[in-house]
Structure 1
Amino acid sequence: MHLSPLITFLLLSLLKIVVVLVITLTAVAYTVLLERKLLGRMQNRWGPSRVGPFGLLQPLADGIKLFLKEDMMPLAVERPLFVLAPLIALGCALMSIAMVPFGAPTPITVNGVTIDIGQIADVNIGLLIILGITSVGVYGIALSGWSSNNKYSLFGSLRASAQLISYELALGLSLVGVVLRAGSLRLRDIVDSQSAHGALSWNILGGFQIIAFFIYMMSAYAETNRAPFDLPEAESELVAGYHTEYSSMKFAMFFMAEYANMITVACVASVMFLGGSGSPFGHVFDHVLNNAVFNFLLPCLWFVAKVIFFIMLYIWVRATVPRFRYDQLMSFGWKFLLPIAMLNILATALAMALHSKV
């Protein structure tokens, strides 16, 4: 049966989306297990070890438990928004992955239609789309707190909204220096601009964006409501924050959204500062492993390794740094990170202007 090029393109795109979605959701589940295992080791205990070999089936057990829990819905909630809020949070967390180039450009041709299997959507303003989608995610948190008709949930969602809006500025500005160096908002171009000499070309080293990297990482911790910036979920003050009234799969969707956002942040950090899917050795070993399978798999493995590094950094910070007070959190974002991010942009622009004249 001969399919039209449009139908072929749609089917191939759908296949890419399904594969990446399944991998992302699996990564979310095992990121939770990795966190519990590492926190256990750091606190001198085992962590999950009973379900399956080495506790590897613990995410499956947790998923079944959450799926079978009774779905409680308090009488006084605003039902449409109460149900919509976790959908917005999880949807925005998963959509951002579509822009990330997770491998080298690998075009394949099927039925006369050529698509790149190294990325779902190669858009020339991919970075702006990621920042825009993640900004919309705050609506899920704000609506969940308001629609719950619970003062603790409302306080948690107000804290989260203020925190996300405040740290979004520093996070966005920290990436401007990288965009100036690459001359593009297309994520593939940003990766290619760091590929010439391996690790020496990465923005964190050769691009002198190490200050921007630390601003990005600190802002990312706040954006994803992770320790030491987890004030919206402060158990000792707000019970559980904005998802106090949620249970069963609605709670699971918020839980998945948090870890999906962690993975998205790690992916963007890898692309912007550590060369994305590029090898730290540059093109030194290209002639040794020069076949189609290795040319696709090795960049994917480098990318995954960098993402895992960032996830482990997240967990390490959670295990070692105590929670901020709320006034400290807001002062740190507005009075420290934001001015330094602006100075980094000026310094990068000045260095590039002087270099162009030499």
Structure 2
Amino acid sequence: MNDPWWIVAIKAIGIVLLVLTWQIINVWFERRVLGKMQQRKGPIMNGPFGLGQTLGDGLKFLLKEDFAPGMVDKVLYTLAPLIAGVSAFTAWSVIPLGGQVNMFGVETRLQVADLPVSALVLLAAASTAVYGFVLAGYSSQSPYSLLGSMRSSAQMISYEISMGLSYVAVFLYAGSMSTGQIVEAQGLPLFGANPLGLQQWYWLLLLPSFVIYVISMLGESNRVPFDLPECESELVSGHITEYTGFRYAIFYLTEYINMTTLSAIVTTLFLGGYKAIWPLGFIFPDTGYWGLLWFVIKVQLFIFFFVWVRASLPRFRYDQFMGLGWKWLIPISLGWVMVIALLRALTNHGLLQGPLLWILIGVVVLGLIAVTFLGGEEVKDEPVVDDGPFDAFAGGYPVPPMPGQTLPELADVVAGSSIDTDHAAAAASDDHRKDA
């Protein structure tokens, strides 16, 4: 796009104002939706419909004393939220919000910039945010913060692999990495003669990639049920435990911007971007500034999905969370990418037609059935051989018995000669806990 510099500046400033204003609405929107789902009202007192509550919280963060503990690394401690905040805004520079419009007499698109590798810019911007979380935990010099940052880095790296593989299927099908061209490719008719106006949205054509991306974006955003880096029940508040005031507000704002950004990416790659929702496109077209309206509606529906998941699902255990990414999402993504590459290669050479098409579809379906229902037998835990009396307090702390072990009868324990040793170990354990 060869826009004048002042048009680029207007679009860049407009994007920042749009995203910031949108987050004020999203915070209020999440509280109201959670309130309805939990049979309460949510914010209703301050301003119309409670909208003033979010503005009050923002002013509280700005006016609150911003201090840092004495043991932190001041430079990295301040740099961490800035990195996270800048990364959250960067992705919006290549997301198309609409089609061709007339802006102050200049024909341009509602997109700040479009590159041949714009989709990779989206992935790179999401990957850069992990540095902010890691530096926040490292610079805080706190064990809770450090553990939270380590979880965050492992989590984002793991789920970025499956997220990137879901991008690959879109690249192969669209034949481009440009976000603008990917949206335009989804505007093509679904069938040759298409009187109904159906379009090639990739959420249906690439359904496995769409499902994998939706799961991965929940893990990428550190939201429930994947909020392991800042879970209050274990790590107080994770990597942001030692933050307060304006620096805490940046992390808080970044979480909502990331949620909106990931919803905008899935809208761009799988839901036709600013294309109108069928069949409403016959009444409200997606040309000009109408495309921005359709884009906002789709993104807001996915933000509602984020809130719905938060109200519905509990937090995963860390091993379950990592196992889902490495044992399921990544292998399935790799297999699906190989299938899409084979289909595109056969299509480009004119071989995917007639009986060969149905044979290939049958092989893929049978393979999926075999993987799903004919997996290996479940490995059962072998019982532990009981080679002697089990002492639950042998190490000074009460330990439950393993399978195959049984606790001795109370009479046997009283009559045994080791009762004094057990009481001494238990007393030492209690003293240790009191000292701690």
TM-score (norm 2): 0.75
Question: Which deviates more from structure 2 when the two are superposed, residues 217-226 or residues 98-107?
Answer: 98-107
> Equivalences for 1:73-92 in 2 at 5 Å?
73-92=68-87
Percent identical pairs in the alignment equals 42
| Greater relative contact order, per chain length (Cα 8 Å cut-off, separation 6+) | 1
Rounded to whole Å, the distance in 2 between the matches of 1:40 and 1:64 is: 23
Matching residue within 301, 317, 321 for 1:325: 317
Task: Give yes or no for contact 1:156–1:238 (8 Å, CA) kept in 2.
Answer: yes
Give the superposition deviation at 1:210. Answer: 1.0
Rounded to whole Å, the distance in 2 between the matches of 1:199 and 1:233 is: 43
Amino acid at match of 1:228: P
Partner of 1:228: 225
Q: 1:231 to 1:283 in 2, by over 3 A?
A: closer
Give the superposition deviation at 1:289. Answer: 6.9
Partner of 2:38: 43
Rounded to whole Å, the distance in 1 between the matches of 2:333 and 2:228 is: 23
Rounded to whole Å, the distance in 1 between the matches of 2:85 and 2:132 is: 8
Matching residue within 92, 110, 122 for 1:130: 122
1:204 equivalent to 2:203? Answer: yes
Partner SS state of residue 186, structure 2: coil
Rounded to whole Å, the distance in 2 between the matches of 1:239 and 1:102 is: 38
Task: Give yes or no for contact 1:231–1:326 (8 Å, CA) kept in 2.
Answer: yes
Q: 1:199 to 1:276 in 2, by over 3 A?
A: farther
Mark the runs of 5 or more structure 1 residues left unpaired by the alignment. 1-5
1:309 equivalent to 2:298? Answer: no
> Equivalences for 1:1-12 in 2 at 5 Å?
9-12=4-7
1:54 equivalent to 2:49? Answer: yes
Partner of 1:3: none
Amino acid at match of 2:177: L
Task: Give yes or no for contact 1:199–1:274 (8 Å, CA) kept in 2.
Answer: no
Give the superposition deviation at 1:106. Answer: 2.5
Partner SS state of residue 103, structure 1: coil
Rounded to whole Å, the distance in 1 between the matches of 2:280 and 2:346 is: 29
The alignment covers a number of residue pairs equal to: 342
1:14 equivalent to 2:13? Answer: no
Q: What does the per-residue CA deviation read over 1:43-94, in whole Å, with 9 as the maximum and x for residues that have no partner?
A: 1111111110110111111111111111021111000000000000011001
Q: What does the per-residue CA deviation read over 1:116-152, in whole Å, with 9 as the maximum and x for residues that have no partner?
A: 2410111121101111111111000000000001110
Rounded to whole Å, the distance in 1 between the matches of 2:121 and 2:80 is: 21
Partner SS state of residue 295, structure 1: coil
Rounded to whole Å, the distance in 1 between the matches of 2:199 and 2:83 is: 40
Rounded to whole Å, the distance in 2 between the matches of 1:47 and 1:235 is: 22
1:166 equivalent to 2:165? Answer: no
1:219 equivalent to 2:216? Answer: yes
Task: Give yes or no for contact 2:85–2:250 (8 Å, CA) kept in 1.
Answer: yes
Task: Give yes or no for contact 2:81–2:250 (8 Å, CA) kept in 1.
Answer: yes
Task: Give yes or no for contact 1:16–1:117 (8 Å, CA) kept in 2.
Answer: no
Partner of 1:155: 147
Amino acid at match of 1:203: Y
1:276 equivalent to 2:273? Answer: yes
Mark the runs of 5 or more structure 2 residues left unpaired by the alignment. 190-196, 354-436
Matching residue within 172, 179, 187 for 2:179: 187
Question: Which deviates more from structure 2 when the two are superposed, residues 54-63 or residues 152-161?
Answer: 54-63
Partner SS state of residue 203, structure 2: coil
RMSD of equivalent CA atoms:
1.9
Rounded to whole Å, the distance in 1 between the matches of 2:245 and 2:280 is: 49
Matching residue within 25, 29, 47 for 1:30: 25
Partner of 1:243: 240
Rounded to whole Å, the distance in 2 between the matches of 1:15 and 1:298 is: 19
Task: Give yes or no for contact 2:284–2:290 (8 Å, CA) kept in 1.
Answer: no
TM-score (norm 1): 0.91
Rounded to whole Å, the distance in 2 between the matches of 1:17 and 1:134 is: 19
Q: What does the per-residue CA deviation read over 1:163-185, in whole Å, with 9 as the maximum and x for residues that have no partner?
A: 00010000000111111111000
Amino acid at match of 1:233: E
Q: What does the per-residue CA deviation read over 1:269-299, in whole Å, with 9 as the maximum and x for residues that have no partner?
A: 00111100011338973xx778xxx732221
Rounded to whole Å, the distance in 2 between the matches of 1:199 and 1:24 is: 30
